[in-house]
Amino acid sequence: MIVLDNQDRIVDFNTSARQTFNWDHTTIIGQPFESVVPHMDEVTNPYSTKDRDRTELMLHIPAKGERIYDLLVSPLIDNTEQLIGRVYVLRDITESKAIQATLHAQARLIHSISDVVFSVDIDGIIQTWNPAAEQTYGWVADEAIGKSWKEVLKPEDDIFENAKIEPNWSRNTIHHHKNGTDVAVWSTVNVLLGSRYNPVGMVAVNRDRRKQELLEKREMDLLRERERSFVLQEFISDVSHDVRTPLTIMQNALYLWQHGKNTEKQVETIDRQIAQLTKIFDDMLNMSRLDKSEDFSFELHDINAIVARVIHEKQPMYRLKKQNLQFEPQGDLPAINCIGHYVPHVFTNILDNAIVYTPEKGSIHITTGQNEDNIFVKFKDSGQGIADNDMPYIFDRFFRGDQARSSSTGSSGLGLSIARKIVELHQGKIEVESNLQGTTFVVYLPIQ
């Protein structure tokens, strides 16, 4: 800051002026301003009035060379309204102008960027404004450039003040369109530093969250479509194998029957394979219905009664293998709100596995109980156990631990997938533990 009298002679100056121009009070005070500051005579005459004004000028500064300054001239007026002097306030904007020039040069590069990119100087005045900003906020570049970014965007957060405190500031925030509507953006702000590491401006990169969400939705749709295509291919492969196997067995049995070889046994074989095909198609139909997440009807049911009914239906299977099945229900369990015609499938499919993979004269122990807000049903068998490397996949569709796709078990490969899907529809869960001594499945179903 430099104070002049009405003859443009220096009467005072501050420390910053002394350091910038290397002045000494004893030699500078009283000197004509234009004689000690080269080229200032070009801009002093326009300020001989009482008006306050500002301009930009280039000065040669000792040890610094050519520098660009923002000059603000304020008149000094006495009580009689006479001009008695002026105050010159010079602010070095060389670095800021260089940054602006760089930003304007880079503006051509960011012209085609789909994200909003705009820059401001240290005072928050918009310097660049790309087409994406025009489209997102409704302000064309000629309208926005030169205005305060707060005036244009009417933000809920002062993103630039935040960025001064937190470098590379990035966050969800709300700006406003020219028509007043909200614009939700993910904003990233970087501070531009000068050669002395002082802030000289900032750049904001804003991504319209509506566009981002639409892009993410498209990506998710594409991913789902790929997954559906993969699942369909796996489904066709697995089903064709599972259907072809019993058909081949039936074809062989039919051939032997036609040639009069052990006809009774061949009829039994055909009947057994028809039952297996029926189960495969029934399971696939159930899985399809569950995938559609239809509006299922929930009603109160006694879990002990459901389990007891399933055990009764499976008596011929476990008695044929002379297995010891014990059922210990906990009394006075509260009724649970469930899909009555689907929950029995859970226990049937788990019990089927226990019977199939438990050897003759082995044991199966079933208990029920209450754990906090859940009813649980535990199936513990003395079977061969599940291999560790198979455990992550046992609920996958068409997965069988032996990977042989043998028809000997009569399994569709969908039983546990169906069980888990039904349990998840009830917001429950299935836990599994297995070792060489057997396997334990625990089904948890919320009471409400």
| 165 and 75 housed in the same domain | no
Q: Is the pLDDT of residue 61 over 90?
A: no
CB 94 within 8 A of CB 72: no
CB 52 within 8 A of CB 73: yes
The C-alpha atoms of residue 208 and residue 206 are separated, in whole angstroms, by: 6
Residue 314 located in a structural domain: yes
* CATH number of the CATH domain containing 44: 3.30.450.20
Site of tokens 């501050």 = 14
Six-digit token string for 72: 């603000």
Six-digit token string for 253: 């049995």
95-99, 137-141, 257-261, range with greatest mean pLDDT: 137-141
| 304 and 388 housed in the same domain | yes
Range 218-246 average pLDDT:
75
Looking at the chain, the whole-number percentage of residues with pLDDT higher than 70 is 88
| 107 and 130 housed in the same domain | yes
| 116 and 186 housed in the same domain | yes
Residue 218 located in a structural domain: no
Q: Is the pLDDT of residue 208 over 60?
A: yes
Q: Is the pLDDT of residue 411 over 60?
A: no
Six-digit token string for 328: 């210990």
| 10 and 88 housed in the same domain | yes
User: What are the backbone dihedrals phi and psi of residue 419, each rounded to the nearest 5 degrees, phi first?
Assistant: -60, -50
Using one digit for the tens of pLDDT, what is the confidence trace for 275-314? 777 777 777 777 777 777 666 788 899 999 999 999 999 9
Range 226-239 average pLDDT:
71
* Low-confidence winner among 127-141, 170-184, 398-412, 425-439 (lowest mean pLDDT): 398-412
| 337 and 413 housed in the same domain | yes
Alpha helices in 292-411 (DSSP H): 303-313, 315-320, 343-357
* CATH number of the CATH domain containing 368: 3.30.565.10
| 106 and 198 housed in the same domain | yes
Residue 222 located in a structural domain: no
Alpha helices in 204-323 (DSSP H): 209-258, 263-291, 303-313, 315-320
Report the pLDDT value the prediction gives residue 264, as an integer from 0 to 100.
Answer: 81
Residue 243 located in a structural domain: no
| 316 and 198 housed in the same domain | no
Q: Is the pLDDT of residue 12 over 80?
A: yes
For the chain, the residue count is: 448
Report the pLDDT value the prediction gives residue 404, as an integer from 0 to 100.
Answer: 37
| pLDDT band, very low/low/confident/very high, at 171 (cuts 50, 70, 90) | confident
Of 43, 62, 92, which marks where a domain is finished? Answer: 92
Q: Is the pLDDT of residue 5 over 50?
A: yes
Task: Quote the DSSP letter at residue 351.
Answer: H
Of 149, 181, 210, which marks where a domain is finished? Answer: 210
Report the pLDDT value the prediction gives residue 297, as an integer from 0 to 100.
Answer: 81
Residue 242 located in a structural domain: no
| 51 and 36 housed in the same domain | yes
Residue 432 located in a structural domain: yes
Of 92, 113, 146, which marks where a domain is finished? Answer: 92
Report the pLDDT value the prediction gives residue 403, as an integer from 0 to 100.
Answer: 43
Considering only CA atoms, which of 434, 394, 389 is closest in space to residue 417? 394
Residue 215 located in a structural domain: no
Q: Is the pLDDT of residue 334 over 90?
A: yes
- Between the alpha carbon of residue 284 and those of residues 277, 279, 407, 412, the distances in Å are 11, 8, 17, 9
Range 171-195 average pLDDT:
86
Range 19-42 average pLDDT:
81
* Low-confidence winner among 47-56, 346-355, 403-412 (lowest mean pLDDT): 403-412
| 195 and 134 housed in the same domain | yes
User: What are the backbone dihedrals phi and psi of residue 323, each rounded to the nearest 5 degrees, phi first?
Assistant: -85, 150
| 165 and 268 housed in the same domain | no
| 271 and 397 housed in the same domain | yes
Report the pLDDT value the prediction gives residue 143, as an integer from 0 to 100.
Answer: 93
- Of residues 408 and 226, more confidence is placed in 226
CA angle 76, 55, 14 (to 5 degrees): 50
Residue 255 located in a structural domain: no
The parent domain of residue 402 ranges over: 262-446
Site of tokens 């260089």 = 98
The C-alpha atoms of residue 392 and residue 434 are separated, in whole angstroms, by: 12
Domain count, the chain: 3
Considering only CA atoms, which of 193, 438, 447 is closest in space to residue 333? 447
Largest Cα separation within the chain, whole Å, is 135
Range 133-140 average pLDDT:
92
Report the pLDDT value the prediction gives residue 274, as an integer from 0 to 100.
Answer: 82
Report the pLDDT value the prediction gives residue 232, as an integer from 0 to 100.
Answer: 66
Range 249-254 average pLDDT:
81
